Amino acid sequence: MKACSNLAVLRTFANLGGGVDIVSGGELFRALRAGVAPSKIVYSGVGKKPLEMDYALKADILMFNVESEEELQLLNQRALALGKKARIALRVNPDVDPLTHPYISTGLKSNKFGIQIERAREIYLQAKQLPGLDSVGLDCHIGSQLTELAPFLEAVSILRKLLGNLRKDGVDIKYLDIGGGLGIPYDQETPPAPGDYGAAVLDLVENMDITLIMEPGRVLVGNAGVMVTQVLYNKHGPEKSFVIVDAAMNDLIRPSLYRAYHSIIKVKKGNEQSSRIVADIVGPICESSDFLARGREIDEPAPGELLAVMSAGAYGFSMSSNYNSRPRCAEVLVDGSNYYLIRQRETYEDLIRGETIPGHILEGK
């Protein structure tokens, strides 16, 4: 859901038996509209609002991943008010270093996510006393774009021990949500294959009588998507060259936000020999941080040529914005030789939908 939330993509995975991990009422709306079974929806996130809790309780989702004691109390109140019972897991923070970018690290004590593992048993026992809650799961998520198995396996080993203690306490844990975060190759990374990851995890949870929940979103869609952009100008200065394109940080923020690498290649290779240049590939946004690549060696493209920004299927459109009042781009689903427009390109009218000018301002009073 977070990596790529288009309805057509969600429905594709739902048809294959997949579920979703949500962090907002809007993501729940998308999941239900896409036809995802409520029994395969887990609600994570540190800031669930009461109305969002009610929405999920009425939809009868599988469970809530609770991230604080105050959230636990509020969820109990909302469940009782609606005559429901909220199935819950506590998201525990195992203090495992995921060896990834600090912005997408989520399992350290310094991160905002989860409950410190040292207090987990105590809080599960509190939850047992709350009549609106049913503790059915245990959850952990240590980060994203992980390229080594060791942090995953360390976290699962910690959870395994905690789960055994919880069962001794009489807490009937049925689901073990081990998050996701397995990385993909953007450049020279060599992340473990999903099969190797799965085999290693299964080995650790053998004979635990548990249902595993995983959220491998980036792996499923990251390298399946590209962003296509058109070259507008080439600009050569005394110290640096620039290739100015019509895509920008509002379309793909990962390079600006994380200094992330995306391979960029010509969509159509011509017969002529282009000169090799080293350039920043930048967009029209009025920020110096508006770049898709810096110091990239490429064949110099001509104005009008199309470039493909690779590995843009995850955290591409889902993190896009209308900054600088730029309409967001179209999304196209390709299936073999068939293609489908699954999101129309936004128009200028879309930019102001929902906005109004009060009458006295309109009249200049």
Query: Most distant CA pair in the chain: distance in Å?
Result: 74
What residues pair up with 207 in beta bridges, in sequence order? none
Residue 182: per-residue pLDDT: 85
The DSSP result for 28-89, as a single string, is: HHHHHHTT--GGGEEE--S---HHHHHHHHHHT-SEEEE-SHHHHHHHHHHHHHTT--EEEE
Residue 106: per-residue pLDDT: 47
Residue 112: per-residue pLDDT: 63
Residue 104: per-residue pLDDT: 43
Task: Residue 67: name the closest of 49, 87, 45, 52 by CA.
Answer: 45
Residue 187 CA to residue 259 CA, distance in Å, equals 13
Residue 151: per-residue pLDDT: 82
Q: What tens digit of pLDDT does each residue of 210-230 get?
A: 999 998 889 999 999 999 999
- How do the pLDDT tens digits run along the chain, 365 residues long? 999 999 999 999 999 999 999 999 999 999 999 999 999 999 999 999 999 999 999 999 999 999 999 999 999 999 999 999 999 999 998 877 655 445 444 444 555 668 888 899 999 999 999 999 999 999 998 877 888 888 888 888 889 899 999 999 999 999 999 888 888 999 988 888 888 888 888 888 888 899 999 988 899 999 999 999 999 999 998 889 999 999 999 999 999 998 999 999 999 876 566 789 999 999 999 999 999 999 999 999 999 999 999 999 999 999 999 999 999 999 999 999 999 999 999 999 999 999 999 999 999 98
Residue 103: per-residue pLDDT: 44
Based on the residue annotation, tell me whether 4 is a catalytic residue of this protein.
Answer: no
The DSSP result for 253-293, as a single string, is: -HHHHH-----EEESS--SS-PPEEEEEEE-SSSSTT-EEE
250 close to 291: Cβ distance less than 8 angstroms: no
Token representation of residue 222: 């990251």
Residue 223 CA to residue 227 CA, distance in Å, equals 11
The domains located in the chain, with CATH, are: 7-221 (3.20.20.10), 225-351 (2.40.37.10)
Residues with Cβ < 8 Å from 237, sequence gap 6 or more? Answer: none
Residue 6 CA to residue 8 CA, distance in Å, equals 6
What residues pair up with 133 in beta bridges, in sequence order? 86
174 close to 210: Cβ distance less than 8 angstroms: yes
- Three-state SS string over 333-347 comes to EEECCEEEEEECCCC
Task: Residue 139: name the closest of 112, 168, 107, 109 by CA.
Answer: 107
Residue 270: per-residue pLDDT: 64
Residue 120: per-residue pLDDT: 92
Q: Which candidate in 4, 140, 286, 329 is catalytic? A: 286
Is 0.85 surpassed by the pTM of this model?
A: yes
Query: If you search the block for the tokens 């410190």, which residue do you land on?
Result: 116
140 close to 173: Cβ distance less than 8 angstroms: no
